[in-house]
Chain A
Amino acid sequence: AQRVTQPEKLLSVFKGAPVELKCNYSYSGSPELFWYVQYSRQRLQLLLRHISRESIKGFTADLNKGETSFHLKKPFAQEEDSAMYYCALTIQGAQKLVFGQGTRLTINP
């Protein structure tokens, strides 16, 4: 079975500092990985996916198959980045997403 682990429930950094939210997964095949974000009083929404290799709001994430990781990074944190972040996994052809436990990121001024 697929599993996603986010080892940090809470992460607090100062504005302007680098941010890294960790995500590890277990799946023997080729997964599709995503990061979702939920800002205060807003809906859960897609932040980025590994297939597109894009940078959204300054965030990037690289899929490391050797370490089975998909960490989310941003070089300079901003206060508006404060939110709940979920890493999620699915497999090709499957409909359902498997989510990690989530990390609450707080950016201090």
Chain B
Amino acid sequence: DVKVTQSSRYLVKRTGEKVFLECVQDMDHENMFWYRQDPGLGLRLIYFSYDVKMKEKGDIPEGYSVSREKKERFSLILESASTNQTSMYLCASILDPGHKEYGYTFGSGTRLTVV
């Protein structure tokens, strides 16, 4: 089974801190994604990457950046955390668009609280 591992299950950070959320997949997938999951809003795409060092903005990129230095790792960075970034963050990966029928593989999520 493809594994998508998010390094932290729960994080509590202070307003203004720089926060790193890490995601690692072990099946050589090309495409990786960061979503945030909020009640009543569903999943909203923050950023995605289709190759090493390549990134594209999703629907809500403001306040976030990403890094993909290696194929297996995709990091989400909150440059200066704010309370409205308190959320559940989900990482996902997929081999390539031609394999969408197998579905995206999601990590277990990181619940971030900014105080």
Contacts and interface: CB of A to CB of B under 8 A. Distances in A.
- How large, as a class, is the contact surface on chain B? 20 to 34
B31 interface: yes
Interface of A: 4, 6, 9, 32, 34, 36, 43-46, 49, 51-52, 86, 90, 92-102
Contacts of B62: none
A10 B28 CA distance: 37
11 contacts: A44-B90, A49-B103, A52-B101, A96-B45, A97-B104, A99-B42, A99-B43, A100-B42, A101-B40, A101-B42, A102-B42
Interface of B: 31, 33, 35, 40-45, 48, 50, 58, 90, 92, 94, 96-97, 100-104, 106-109
B33 A96 contact: yes
B107 A49 contact: no
A98 B33 CA distance: 12
B56 to A, nearest CB: 8
